[in-house]
Chain A
Amino acid sequence: MDNGADSYRRFLEGDDKGLSEIVELYKDGLILYLVGYVNNIYVAEDLTEDTFFRLITKKPSFSGKCTFKSWLYAIGRNVAVDYIRHESKCISTPLEDIENGASEEYDLECAYIKEEGRMKVHRAMRELSADYKSVLWLVYFEGFSNTETARIMRKSERQIRNLLYRAKQSLKTKLEMEGFTREKL
């Protein structure tokens, strides 16, 4: 049962509790996904809020052709891409924000990913390109299928398969450089 879809339907009917449920279900995962695009946990949090805001003001209709989660993540990706386009000039971040952000992200990872090994992999993913980070996160951490991932990233399934292969190769190289010896993700 797609809980998100049910909560959204109730929200559209006027029940604000539906919104609370959606935020509780998807907030952390969406933040960690969007960090891959903007490399800043606080910005990712704002963009996550903007994603939910877009949901509650524009009220786009959910057709049910895919999971609610993949639909929501696709909206989140669009929000992030719009943000990157508009904020294309470099904005300097104070050092304390970077340090605080790192610890916040660590806490979030602990809460969301939980497993130590996977957390280390997630850390290593930071140095990959946005597309590599995105595809690995969606497939291996969020559990989306290739089809759903293709929908979120607005690519074809074939492109996702190629991207996954290259992302894994790149991640493997990084992990090996750091002395990480796992062969499979």
Chain B
Amino acid sequence: MKSCDEMVDSLLERREKYVLARTRKRKRTARILSVCCMCLAVGLCTVVLIVKDSLRSVSGNNELPIVSFYADIDMYPQYPLPSAGEIRMTYRLECAVKEYGSGALYRIYIDILDGDKVLPADSEIVKAELERLSENGYDVSVENYTIMDAEYSGVVALVALEQLESFDANDNYGYYIHLHDECIPPNLLPDPIA
């Protein structure tokens, strides 16, 4: 059995070790916390950059939304076919442009007509047109899509308002432009107005 003095000595020794261990633990905790905060900050920055990048790759511009449909219309107007060198936009596209203006990008289909026929996307003329528009800074490509088991392909583009308003038409062909999600297959185009 310990005497009082022995117990007091033992207590004071234990207290010293306890204080030392607690100081070490606090330093370790502080180090771990600072590492965790740094990792969290790095992780957050990475996520933000990835999200920004993905938005940029979709929109081409990390600030503007993309408009591909305009639903606020309860009518299906008939359009005269564009003649050579003429550009005709659908009513929905015109409404979308009126609403969003330069505050959005527009995903569109471009039908290239030779007379009253829509040229197939895989034709030489359309390929040449795609190349010409690309060289002029338009983001264009060919897209294949299916409607009611029928397969189609068309020219799609992602354009800003300026590019729409100053669309560089070839004088030999007519251009019929509509919003991507209101796409109408060429053989379902309305008959030209007499």
Contacts and interface: CB of A to CB of B under 8 A. Distances in A.
B1 interface: yes
Interface in B1-52: 1-2, 4-5, 7-8, 10-12, 14-15, 18
Nearest to A25: B4
A73 interface: no
A24 B12 contact: no
Contacts of B1: 41-42, 45, 104, 107-108
A52 B4 contact: no
B15 A20 contact: no
Interface residues of B, number: 12
Given A41-B1, A45-B1, A108-B1, A53 B15 contact: yes
Nearest to B18: A57
Contacts of B15: 53, 56-57
A107 B1 CA distance: 10
A16 interface: yes
Interface in B52-105: none
B88 to A, nearest CB: 85
B4 A19 contact: no
A157 interface: no
A19 B14 contact: no
A49 interface: yes
B4 A56 contact: no
A27 interface: yes
A27 B7 contact: yes
Choose among B2, B5, B12 the residue with the greatest number of A CB atoms under 10 Å from its CB.
B2
A19 B15 CA distance: 12
B135 to A, nearest CB: 79
A24 B10 contact: no
A175 interface: no
Contact of B12 (A16, A45, A104): A16
A27 B5 CA distance: 11
Contact of B11 (A49, A107, A108): A49
B11 A27 contact: no
Nearest to B10: A49
A24 to B, nearest CB: 5
B18 A52 contact: no
Interface in A1-53: 16, 19-20, 23-24, 27, 41-42, 45, 48-49, 52-53
B11 A19 contact: yes
Nearest to A105: B1
A49 B12 contact: no
A102 to B, nearest CB: 12
Contact of B7 (A52, A57, A107): A52
B2 A56 contact: no
Interface string B93-131: 000000000000000000000000000000000000000
Choose among A23, A24, A45, A107 the residue with the greatest number of B CB atoms under 10 Å from its CB.
A23
9 contacts: A16-B8, A19-B8, A45-B1, A48-B7, A52-B7, A53-B14, A53-B15, A57-B18, A108-B1
Given A49-B10, A53-B18, A56-B15, 7 more contacts: A16-B12, A19-B8, A24-B4, A27-B7, A49-B11, A57-B15, A104-B1
Sort A-B residue pairs by CB-CB distance and give the 4 closest, nearest first: A24-B4, A20-B8, A23-B4, A104-B1
